[in-house]
Structure 1
Amino acid sequence: MQSRGSIAAASTKAPADRVSSIGYQNRRHGWRCVVPLLTMTISLLSPIAPAHAEATCEPDVQNAVEEPGRIETNSNRDEGRRPCEVLSFFGVEPGAVHLELLAAQGYYTEILSVLVGREGRVYHHNNALVLQLTPPDQLVPIRNRIESGELSNAEWIEGELEALPFANGSVDSISAILSLHDYYWMSRRPESSGFAELFRILRPGGRLLVVDHSAQPETTVSAAVDQNGIHRIDQRYLTERLLDVGFVFEAESDILRNPADDRSKPFFDRSMWRDRTDRFVMIFGKPGEQTSDED
């Protein structure tokens, strides 16, 4: 089920100059939600008029998922990752300039390339640590698809988390899939520099998709700071840190929730193989003008 305009147990103090509400419209699929934000005098972000709907899989996204050229080791993970439902929830726009953050083997890069179309652009990003730690044979297939021109609208880029190679406001959308928890062991300043850098490069009205392994409540970053730890992040804490750098919360979904996961084990534990972790899915926005088809 999906919830638009609510977030479980998130708490923050909003700056006085933050807009009082934000309207978000998915231009392809037509739905719209308005999420009231908090004033400076309110410290608790509680559920706001939640509207629930079953997870959906839009036909154009399904076509992208079923694209015959996808790397087999990527498509074999579709059952556990549910890319059609996740990207239908996010709503990638044709013609968008999209950054796939810490993309590694390019699971989402291939699908996003189809969705943004010929007029769009997908940047497949990795930093030095991902390139160093990922077995080279796992990177070759996606790099070959990009550099051969098979994914003609995709580009392989490298850059550190605190200095992404993009101009201010030059990206329409960003996906951070199972990656923001890694900031806490990869970066010396994960929030003030790393998250702020995502905000800097995103255009006003642009959106950030966050999917990550859920840690137990009130654990803040303790499950994320150790490279050899369990690689999870406290959803409430992460939400607060993204709000701190200027993002606004727009929506969340329980598409990838798994109540059977007690959130004590890393994703690479045998019991968690094949994408069995409990994962949260959220959309954040950058305040500013966002044009619609009606404009």
Structure 2
Amino acid sequence: MKQLILITLMTLSSCATHQGAPLKSATEEVIAPEFYITPKTIEKAVSSPYRTPEFKERDMYRHPEDTLTFFGVKPTMKVLEITPGTGWYTEILAPFLNERGQYIMATHPAGSAAPQSGHIAEWSKKYPDIAKNMKSTIFDLSNPNLELGEEGSIDMVLTFRNVHNWMAKDNEDVAFKAFFKVLRKGGILGVVEHRAPNDRTDPKASTGYVRESDMIKMAKKAGFKYLGKSEVNSNPKDTKDYEKGVWTLPPTFALKKTDREKYQAIGESDRMTLKFSRP
């Protein structure tokens, strides 16, 4: 039976926090969930009741179990996810890492053009036993000396569909340099990004697509070793020639109702899934 309890809740918000500091706490009444089950495998984390049902519907495009298995996520790791948005991967990684590892998110500064979604805060209120072990740090690319935590303190850095945003403002070098510094030696960088055709030159990634060769160059420039790729997130139906770029496809549907069924049939974008390490 659910019981009403007083609990110190670690909450997330879009407000600025000290880098690496625990999330802000507040005491409030919540309904204790009937389960606090730590998923022991990635498979169980993906199928766990901690996930929002609408998020699960996108597994057919994002293949979280295969993606995280390829990256080699372990339950004992300290994993840093870069700008997790609404928390799609947060709901998988935070419970999985809760018992023996730790999930850390790098969020945009307060007042930025892309503040952190409130969905993560609401999700954290629902599962305080998970939220209390989560941490956050500030991902501010306007700082050329950006630090995401103590040097060598992280086992894995993950970024999903973010690099095109950094390229648009010429600060991808700042990002990859910070990733390299915060990772321990042998630590892993996992990248998923919309994949551009090899013959397309688009240094600002204006269409949202990035060439695989350019991605590898970015990481190597920062000092990373390229370990390989997976085609788990590839989509041969994606022609990559749309009026509104990658945002034409679901879930954005930039053209609204125009040819919506056509783009729904294509599905989400063709994506590269690349793995690197800090030597």
How does the TM-score come out when normalised to structure 2?
A: 0.71
After superposition, the Cα gap between the structure-2 partners of 1:280 and 1:81, relative to the gap in structure 1 and judged at 3 Å, is: same
The corresponding residue for 1:222 is: 203
The corresponding residue for 2:121 is: 143
How far does the alpha carbon of each residue in 1:215-273 deviate from its partner, in whole angstroms, 9 at most, with x for none? 1214354351xxxx321111101101211111001121111111221222333203555
The corresponding residue for 1:234 is: 211
After superposition, the Cα gap between the structure-2 partners of 1:264 and 1:164, relative to the gap in structure 1 and judged at 3 Å, is: farther
The corresponding residue for 1:278 is: 270
After superposition, the Cα gap between the structure-2 partners of 1:249 and 1:167, relative to the gap in structure 1 and judged at 3 Å, is: same
Question: Where do 1:143-162 residues align within 5 Å?
Answer: 143-146=121-124, 149-152=128-131, 153-161=133-141, 162=144
The corresponding residue for 2:24 is: none
Paired residues of 1:106 and 1:124 also in contact (CA < 8 A): no
Q: Give the gaps of 5 or more residues in structure 1.
A: 1-58, 288-295
Paired residues of 1:110 and 1:151 also in contact (CA < 8 A): no
Query: What SS does the corresponding residue of 1:230 show, helix, strand or coil?
Result: coil
The corresponding residue for 2:227 is: 250
1:183 correspondence with 2:162: no
The corresponding residue for 1:209 is: 190
The AA in structure 1 aligned to 2:270 is D
The corresponding residue for 1:82 is: 63
Q: Give the gaps of 5 or more residues in structure 2.
A: 1-39, 254-261
The corresponding residue for 1:32 is: none
Name the Cα RMSD after superposition.
2.4
CA distance in structure 1 between the partners assigned to 2:220 and 2:184 by the alignment: 16
CA distance in structure 2 between the partners assigned to 1:151 and 1:145 by the alignment: 10
Query: What SS does the corresponding residue of 2:247 show, helix, strand or coil?
Result: coil
Identical counterparts, % of pairs = 24
Displacement of 1:132: 3.2
The corresponding residue for 2:239 is: 262
The AA in structure 1 aligned to 2:138 is E
Query: What SS does the corresponding residue of 2:233 show, helix, strand or coil?
Result: coil
Query: What SS does the corresponding residue of 1:267 show, helix, strand or coil?
Result: helix
CA distance in structure 2 between the partners assigned to 1:128 and 1:214 by the alignment: 28
CA distance in structure 1 between the partners assigned to 2:181 and 2:227 by the alignment: 18
After superposition, the Cα gap between the structure-2 partners of 1:140 and 1:121, relative to the gap in structure 1 and judged at 3 Å, is: same
After superposition, the Cα gap between the structure-2 partners of 1:249 and 1:113, relative to the gap in structure 1 and judged at 3 Å, is: same
How does the TM-score come out when normalised to structure 1?
A: 0.68
Query: What SS does the corresponding residue of 1:133 show, helix, strand or coil?
Result: coil
